[in-house]
Each structure stands twice: as structure tokens, then as C-alpha cells.
A and B are shown apart, each in its own frame.
Chain A
Amino acid sequence: MTENAPASAPHLLEVDSISKYYGNVVALRDVSTHVNAGEVTCVLGDNGAGKSTLIKILSGVHEQDEGRLLVEGDEVRFASPRDARAHGIATVYQDLAMVPLMSIWRNFFLGAEPVRGVGPLRWFDSATAKRVVREQLRQMGIDIRDPDQPVGTLSGGERQSVAIARAVYFGARVLILDEPTSALGVKQAGVVLRYVVQARDRGVAVIFITHNPHHAYPVGDRFVILNRGQSLGSYAKPELDRQELIRLMAGGRELAELEHELEALTAAISP
């Protein structure tokens, strides 16, 4: 497609001609793209386009059947999510992996609690935890009223933001966001998009999965459009204007055909 010639430095994460089959179903065929530090690559597509399959491969949940994954130019294989995380690839899922009844600071450090003291008398350094949470969220431009409040009391956008801040704090170099704006209202989605940009500006490579071109276009540097498991191309932003992105997303020709069919139908039923 319209991939640029290989730059002098290898890409932080590169996907090269990846395919995945579930039995005789082709979930993903020959998809290629890349993302660099401080850039956002958007993966767009309708339901069933293969977006989730792609994330699952990138985050180590599934392995691809064909094609290569490269981190900084070296081929890697992810046998588990832990492998992906070891390469600095963090995934923020739609369900966020947060416990609603637990406070923000407890959630933020869940599974990686800072401790003080020695031996059996080590304790969870809650003062540090609360301070770090406040700092990190403030750096992302999030003002929480009280780190003690349960995550369940936060709005959907705030929860996404806390999850993003957590991934960035724990050293994510590549952040995969699975439909972070899909369940949100217009205003909340805007809030989350701002944190995507914040993460990018801190040098994180972001892979942003969405089915909404209006959310993708303003923040993306590169766009991959998937349709029924096939890639419709990987475009840098200058190669694609918003209208073209929307047209590709809607499945261009299919939409034109549908329009034609509807016209014919209207003509047939009108006297």
C-alpha cells in the first residue's frame, strides 16, 4: 500500500502481514501497520472487522498464524499477555481491570503495591500510593476530588483516564486502547481523547481501536482500516482527509450499492 520506505530507525512496534484463522474462518488476513513513540495509530473498523483479533495478537492473548511482529526491528513472539507486558506493551480493555468497590489508589497499584518495612512486617505504603496517584492524574490533567473514593463512583471517562494513567505510570511504551470512547457520551469521549493525546505527548506509542472516525481523525497520525478481516490500507494522516476516512470506514462501494438499491426500491413503489 502506501507505506513509506523504511526510516532510518526501526518502528517501535511493527505488524507485518499478519493473518489469523479460527478454524476455517479468516479473522484477519495480511494486515500490516506500525506505530512509533509519540504517535497514535488508529485501528478502525465495524463490528466483526477483526479489530479485537488484532488487539489480542498484539497483547499476547492469541498468536498469529502468519506474519511477523517486530519490536524495535526485532521479531518477537508473545506466548502470553505477560510476554507482551515485558516488552512494554500495555492494553487497556473496555472492562478496564478495575474493582468498582475499591478506592482509586488501591486500584491504581493493584498487583504492584509499593511496600515499606522488612520481612513479614512489610506494609502497603498507602501515603506514597495516594501521593503518586494524585501526581500522575494531575499530570494527565485529571483532577480527582479524593483518591479514597471507590472507582465505582467515577464516570466512564474518568475510569478510562485512570486506567490510561496507570498503564503509562507502570512503564508502558506501547499503549493499546480498546474502544475507550465507545460507551461514552460526546463530552466524556472528548475527555478521554485528551488523555490519549497527553499519553502521546509523553512519548508513548498509542494504538487506538475505535469504530468512530470522528474520534480517530483528530488524534491519529496513522490509520488502519479493517473490513471483514482484510486491511483496506494503512495511511499516514497527510495521505487521507476526513471525508476519505469516513468513506473507507463505511465500506465505500457497499454504501454506494446500498444507495442505488434503495433508489431502485423507492422508484418501484412510487406510482
Chain B
Amino acid sequence: MAQPAAAGTIRPDERFVRVGVVARLLTRPDIGALLGAVAVFFAFGYFARAVNWLGDPGIAAGWTDQAAQYGIIAVPVALLMIGGEFDLSAGVMIGSCGLLLGYLTTHAGLNVWPAILIVLAFGVAVGFVNGLTVVKTKLPSFIVTLATFFVLQGVNAAGTLKLTGTTAIDDIDGASGFSSARRFFASDLTQYDYKAKVIWWIGLTLVGAWLLAKTRFGNWIYSAGGDPVAARNVGVPVVRTKIALFVMTSATAALMGIIEALELRSMQAKEGIGLEFIFIICAVVGGCLLTGGYGSVIGTFFGAAMLGMVQLGIVDAQWDSNWTYTFQGAILFAAVMLNTLIRARAQKAR
């Protein structure tokens, strides 16, 4: 008699614990992105089995390169979204900063290293202007940074044409300091051509995740997006927090411009345009709410990984690459639906 009774009391206990863990995981913003990335990885493992998608390190080098191109800037874009703002100029800034580096090293004859410092300072300045304009005018950042986007797009195209007579700045590798800078920012790692970019991507993700979860600045980011009035009432410097986030986004875009210019040895005037939405998709897939106040840097990392895999997987599966856009749209839609569900869960009384 005693034995079945004991089993009867233990069993429901275990069940409660199990439900608790699942419910807890479902309130985490990054779990959907992790599951999605794993699903996409194995889906292409099947559809692109002809190129040994699952087993060939060279294939992985390809999609991680692509994912890093999305993921590096997606880190500050995610933080900015959690802080309640958007930056649509983050894509075009890659081009602007790469072109600036090209101009400084080829036409102005600077060494690459001081040129890099100037480009980073330019990134900081653009971010500062974006941020200051948003907090001072109280206009939606969507509009303010859209304006920055178009202004820079024009400057990139017209400036490059006037300078070189073509649509690109070439021969960046002729500048002094190029090889040491390239080794630091854009070298190939291992025999399979993993890019240094991937290290930058992982590193920035860890820094961003640490900032968000473990510092007071992280607490301020959440509150600036979640309820800026309440945050200000308890003494959070909301304005400074938001400006800092815009600066981080533009400075990271500048870093990406530097990496690309050094990797490709030349810079196209159109570089980076269109990527601004990809960064936002990465962040949304990573669990960031469009309304701010909630999200995850780790989730954004998996979001970027997923989009990188889709980009190269579609080619490796020998499908028409135009389907990439359709996939990105479908992923975005699924992610938004999932986020809405997770947020409703997080806000419901337990």
C-alpha cells in the first residue's frame, strides 16, 4: 500500500517541475531563435546534402562569413531596439565608412591605421547626430534615420563618382599599413577560410550580452525602451542612454565598413544598402519587440546565424537565389508571431 502511494505523490511533483521549466523557457526571448537556427541548419543539411552541408567545414566557413556580416551590426541594432529606437542608416553607413577609408588611404595618402581612427570617429559623430536629433525633436527614429540613410546614399554615390569617375574606390591595398590592418580585421583563419569577421561577431555578441544583462547601462536600456517616463522619474538618464545606443550602432557600422574595405581591397558606392532591414530582422528573430523594452543579444546572434544559413543554403541547395527574400520575409513573420506570444506570456499574471 505504501509503495504506490509514495509513487503517486512523487509523480505529480515531477510533472509540475517539468511544466515549470517549459513555461520558463517560453518566456525567454532567445529560445525561438535558437530553435529556428537549429531547424534551418538541419533543413539545409537535407536540401543541400549534395554539397555535404552538414559535414564540410568550408561550407560552414561560407555561411558564418555571411552571418557575421549581418550579426556584427545586429548586436547594437538589437540593443537600440530594446532601448526603443531604430536605425535605418546602419546599412548605408557600412558603405560610407568603407568609402571614407578608401578615400583617406588612396587619395589622401594616409596610413591605414590613422585612417581607421578617423573612420571610427566619423561613425561616432553620425551616431551622435542621429541620437541627438531623435531625443531633441522627439520625432520617431524611423523617420530621422531614414533621412540620414538617404542623405548618405546620395553622398556615397555622387562622392565616389566625382572622386574616381567610377562607382567604386579601388586599390586600398596599395596603402601603407594595409597588411597589418588586414591581418587584424579581415584575415582568413585556418585552411578553410573562416574569416576574422566571425571572431568579431562572436566577441561583440558576448560584449553586448554582458552589457545588457550584467551592467547598469543594460538596466537603463531595458527601461528606456520599456517605459521612458517611468525610467526618467526614478532617475535613469534616458536621453544619454539613447544617444549612446545610436553612437554604438553607427560606430559598429564603421567597424564593419573598415572590415569590408580591408577584406575586399575596394569599396562599392552601393555597399551596405538594404542591409538595414536585415539587421532589424535578426534582432526581431532574436526576440526583440518592435515596441522596445524586451529582447536578447544572444537571440540576435542566432537570428543572424539563421539568415546567414538561408542566404548560402539556398545557393547550395541550387534553388533560385531570389527565394532568399521570400524566406527572410517568412522568417520575420514567424518571429513576430512568436514574440507576440512570448510577450503575452511574460506579462500574464502567474
A93 to B348, CA, bound (A): 23
Quick one: CB contact mask for A101-131 with B, threshold 8 Å, 1 for yes?
1100010011111010000001110100000
Looking at A36-44, A148-156, A218-226, A246-254, the stretch in contact with chain B turns out to be A148-156
User: Residues of B contacting A236 with CB < 8 Å?
Assistant: none
Least Cβ distance of A267 to chain B in Å?
52
The answer on a CB contact under 8 Å between B215 and A99 is no
The answer on a CB contact under 8 Å between B350 and A149 is yes
Chain A at the B interface: mostly helix, strand, loop or mixed?
loop
Known contacts A122-B215, A145-B350, A154-B349; A99/B235 CB under 8 A: no
Residue of B nearest to A149 (CB): B350
User: Residues of B contacting A93 with CB < 8 Å?
Assistant: 233
The answer on a CB contact under 8 Å between B235 and A111 is yes
A156 to B231, CA, bound (A): 19
Q: Is B138 an interface residue (CB 8 A)?
A: no
Q: Is B230 an interface residue (CB 8 A)?
A: yes
Quick one: CB contact mask for B224-247 with A, threshold 8 Å, 1 for yes?
001100110111100000000000
A99 to B234, CA, bound (A): 11
Least Cβ distance of B89 to chain A in Å?
27
Quick one: CB contact mask for B141-181 with A, threshold 8 Å, 1 for yes?
00000000000000000000000000000000000000000
A81 to B235, CA, bound (A): 11
Query: Which of A93, A100, A109 has most chain B Cβ within 10 Å?
Result: A100
Q: Which of B210, B216, B235, B346 contacts A152 (CB 8 A)?
A: B346
Least Cβ distance of B249 to chain A in Å?
19
Q: Which of A97, A122, A155 contacts B230 (CB 8 A)?
A: A97
The answer on a CB contact under 8 Å between B349 and A110 is no
Chain B at the A interface: mostly helix, strand, loop or mixed?
helix
Q: Is A96 an interface residue (CB 8 A)?
A: yes
Q: Is A98 an interface residue (CB 8 A)?
A: yes
User: Residues of B contacting A106 with CB < 8 Å?
Assistant: 219, 222-223
User: Residues of A contacting B215 with CB < 8 Å?
Assistant: 115, 122-124
Q: Is B294 an interface residue (CB 8 A)?
A: yes
Q: Which of A97, A100, A112, A145 contacts B233 (CB 8 A)?
A: A97
User: Residues of B contacting A101 with CB < 8 Å?
Assistant: 222, 226, 293-294, 343, 346-347
The answer on a CB contact under 8 Å between B226 and A99 is yes
A123 to B223, CA, bound (A): 17
Residue of B nearest to A155 (CB): B349
Quick one: CB contact mask for B312-350 with A, threshold 8 Å, 1 for yes?
000000000000000000000000000000010011111
User: Residues of B contacting A100 with CB < 8 Å?
Assistant: 226-227, 347
A113 to B223, CA, bound (A): 13
User: Residues of A contacting B231 with CB < 8 Å?
Assistant: 99, 110-111
Q: Is A95 an interface residue (CB 8 A)?
A: yes
User: Residues of A contacting B216 with CB < 8 Å?
Assistant: 113, 115, 122, 124
Residue of A nearest to B347 (CB): A152
Q: Which of B235, B293, B348 contacts A153 (CB 8 A)?
A: B348
User: Residues of A contacting B218 with CB < 8 Å?
Assistant: 124
Q: Which of B219, B293, B294 contacts A109 (CB 8 A)?
A: B219
User: Residues of A contacting B343 with CB < 8 Å?
Assistant: 101
Least Cβ distance of B24 to chain A in Å?
9
Known contacts A99-B231, A100-B226, A102-B226; A150/B219 CB under 8 A: no
Quick one: CB contact mask for B192-225 with A, threshold 8 Å, 1 for yes?
0000000000000000001000111011001100
Query: Which of A93, A99, A124, A149 has most chain B Cβ within 10 Å?
Result: A99
Residue of A nearest to B348 (CB): A153
The answer on a CB contact under 8 Å between A99 and B346 is no
Pairs across A and B, CB under 8 Å, 30 listed: A93-B233, A95-B230, A96-B230, A97-B234, A99-B227, A99-B231, A100-B226, A101-B222, A101-B226, A101-B346, A101-B347, A102-B222, A102-B223, A106-B223, A109-B219, A110-B219, A110-B231, A110-B234, A110-B236, A112-B234, A115-B216, A122-B216, A123-B210, A123-B214, A123-B215, A124-B216, A124-B219, A145-B350, A153-B346, A154-B349
Having A112-B235, A149-B350, A150-B346, one finds 7 other A-B pairs with CB under 8 Å, namely A100-B347, A102-B222, A109-B219, A111-B223, A111-B234, A123-B210, A153-B346
10 closest Cβ contacts across the A-B interface? Answer: A111-B235, A99-B226, A113-B216, A111-B234, A152-B347, A97-B233, A97-B230, A99-B227, A101-B293, A123-B214
